Amino acid sequence: MRPVRFVALGDSLTEGVGDPVGDRWRGWAELLAPGLAPVDAPVDFTNLAVSGAQTRDVLERQTPAALALEPDIVSVVIGVNDTLRYTFDIHAVAERLDTVYAAFRAREATVLTACLPDPGSMLGLPGVLARPLARRQHAVNAVVHALSKRHGAMHLHAAEEEWIEDRAVWSADRLHPGELGHRQLALRFHSLLTEEGLADGATPSAEAEFPAPTRSASLLWLATAGTGWVARRCTDLLPQLLTLAASEVRHRARGTSARLDLSASHAVASALAALSVPERPDAV
């Protein structure tokens, strides 16, 4: 019997950060894999996701490797790291994702995508810092939503407030799901696939296998590895983020904050128009 081939592309979310098993990360994609086929049927799962990856990495590195594996199902969950870089360009993000989705659909693979919460709200940043990041993530989500519809991808809405506000499902860094969060993602993707008759295996368990990290362990992580994570990104993003925050303050003082939202919406519309994709300004 030919195995179901499932390949996962993306960044630290799909790599499994926040769901440690021994000395490695597991994550939602690995939890989902066994449920794609009956117990007596094989599933070949390959996780190509790498922490810190951006859409360029998925296009140039992960996609060629994944295509060589001839997947039946491929997940492409990416974009948050793009929003955390000074080089952020929604036009480039849209073009790369359009190319990636098209490549897999041309091979008749089922493509899984997701829209995600913005990092500013997850980290609890002050409004003047959080709003610029929120606009960027909303733009990425709108593009992913539109392109998923265009290419017939299975799209998961994972940016809703209920998911964001349930702290029990998030890890110590407040950016990655913990084990419960990864299990929820696996369950929700499995539900989407089952509805379309594309998953024949058992539903992934919603119950945690390991105890949640203690508060002291979480604080230790934030003081060690977490500090390094923030420092690496601040080196790249912080100067521009401060500039964006200053712009927020100026527009707020003038009562013209709506112009920033309008500009972001126009950028999304322009990026999608360049690809001849119908605009979905309400997508989040």
pLDDT of 235 > 50? The answer is yes
| Within-domain flag for 282 | no
Structure confidence at residue 250 as a pLDDT band (50, 70, 90): confident
Instruction: Kindly tell me the sign of the dihedral angle through the C-alpha atoms of 137, 142, 143, 144.
Output: positive
| Within-domain flag for 207 | no
pLDDT of 284 > 50? The answer is no
Structure confidence at residue 121 as a pLDDT band (50, 70, 90): confident
CATH number of the domain at 132, please: 3.40.50.1110
What count of other Cβ atoms lies within 10 Å of the Cβ of residue 265?
16
When divided into structural domains, the chain yields a total of 1
For 48-67, what is the mean pLDDT?
A: 97
| Within-domain flag for 283 | no
| Within-domain flag for 105 | yes
Helix intervals (H) in 125-226: 127-151, 161-165, 179-195, 215-221
Length of the chain: 284
Tens digit of each residue's pLDDT (9 = 90 or more) over 191-204: 999 999 999 999 99
Say what the pLDDT of residue 128 is. Answer: 80
Instruction: Kindly tell me the sign of the dihedral angle through the C-alpha atoms of 70, 75, 81, 83.
Output: positive
Structure confidence at residue 246 as a pLDDT band (50, 70, 90): confident
| Within-domain flag for 209 | no
* CA atoms of 5 and 7, how far apart (whole Å): 7
Structure confidence at residue 281 as a pLDDT band (50, 70, 90): very low
Q: What is the mean pLDDT of the chain?
A: 87
pTM exceeds 0.85 for this model: yes
State which residues form the domain around 268.
Answer: 4-202+215-273
